[in-house]
Amino acid sequence: MGTDQRSSFILGAFICSGLALMGYLIGSSAIKFREYERVVSVKGLSEREIPADVAVWPVNFTAANNDLTALYSSMENNSKQVVEFLTEAGFSSAEITISAPVITDKLAQQYGGGENAHLRYISSQTITVYSNQIDLVRATQNNLAKLGKKGIALGGYEYVKTEYLFTKLNEIKPAMIEEATRKAREVAEKFAKDSHSQLGKIKSANQGQFSVEDRDTNTPYIKRVRIVSTIDYYLSD
């Protein structure tokens, strides 16, 4: 065999060996990649019941009269009595906001049947309590009959229910996110164990949105705060 033939043979052998080795490495990498891409997606829930820390309580009252001047005087007197009632209950002036009265002239209403109205003018006014004294708000609401006994007509067509708010979400967020993440991992670990696999690193995670809702219609001053985190983990044999 000539020198050139031997060189060509050796070169061909190296090329074949290289291709074989490359094929093995690629195949091995593909298998490992497919194994590494085994993923389990789990959810972790964190839920708490928290008392509201702010109450927005609108106290609405109405009056009617054929004399507009007398009606304004009546509403002014009623407003003073409502503020006095709230102040005596323990609310500060900073917690009380007084809106201007809204006057409706039934005779001027095109479709209001004003021609048959017994009293021409009707007025509605709202005094709003914005307070973090939740228990005081609830206790004072139970004593509203005192205003009714003074001739103040509470409620009316602009009546709005008391709104209870929870404004300290940022204070409990870290602990709840940690709890949701921990519960998600517990679920993933159980799945891995049941499937005879090993739990790997996190592939992706979605924190989810916090929701704050009333616990139920009868206790709006107690809030249910919840978050659901979704986490994808790698699995391996």
Q: Average pLDDT for residues 33-49, to the nearest whole number?
A: 81
Residues 70 and 8 in one domain: no
Q: Distance between CA atoms of 58 and 97, rounded to whole angstroms?
A: 9
Q: Average pLDDT for residues 63-75, to the nearest whole number?
A: 94
Total domain count for the chain?
3
Residues 13 and 45 in one domain: no
Q: What is the pLDDT of residue 237?
A: 77
Residues 21 and 113 in one domain: no
| Domain extent at residue 214 | 39-51+168-237
Task: Please state, as a whole number, how many other Cβ atoms lie within 10 Å of the Cβ of residue 213.
Answer: 11
Residues 25 and 67 in one domain: no
CA distances, 151 to each of 71, 87, 126, 145, 163 (Å): 14, 19, 16, 10, 26
2 — pLDDT class (breaks 50, 70, 90): low
Residues 110 and 127 in one domain: yes
Residues 102 and 198 in one domain: no
Residues 33 and 76 in one domain: no
Q: Distance between CA atoms of 10 and 13, rounded to whole angstroms?
A: 5
Type and span of the H or E element at 214: strand 211-214
The answer for residues whose C-beta is within 8 angstroms of residue 39's C-beta and 6 or more apart is: 203, 232, 233, 234, 235
Residues 43 and 30 in one domain: no
Residues 64 and 160 in one domain: yes
CATH code of 125's domain: 3.30.70.2970
Domain boundary among 125, 143, 165: 165
Q: Which of 9-18, 80-89, 142-151, 214-223 is predicted least confidently?
A: 9-18
Task: Please report, to the nearest 10 degrees, the dihedral formed by the alpha carbons of residues 20, 21, 26, 29 taken in order.
Answer: 140
Sign of CA dihedral 223, 128, 144, 100: negative
- pLDDT over 70 (residue 188): yes
pTM for this entry: 0.75
Q: What percent of the chain has pLDDT over 70?
A: 79
- pLDDT over 60 (residue 31): no
Q: Distance between CA atoms of 78 and 138, rounded to whole angstroms?
A: 21
Residues 149 and 193 in one domain: no
Residues 117 and 211 in one domain: no
- pLDDT over 90 (residue 107): no
Q: What is the pLDDT of residue 34?
A: 45
Residues 157 and 60 in one domain: yes
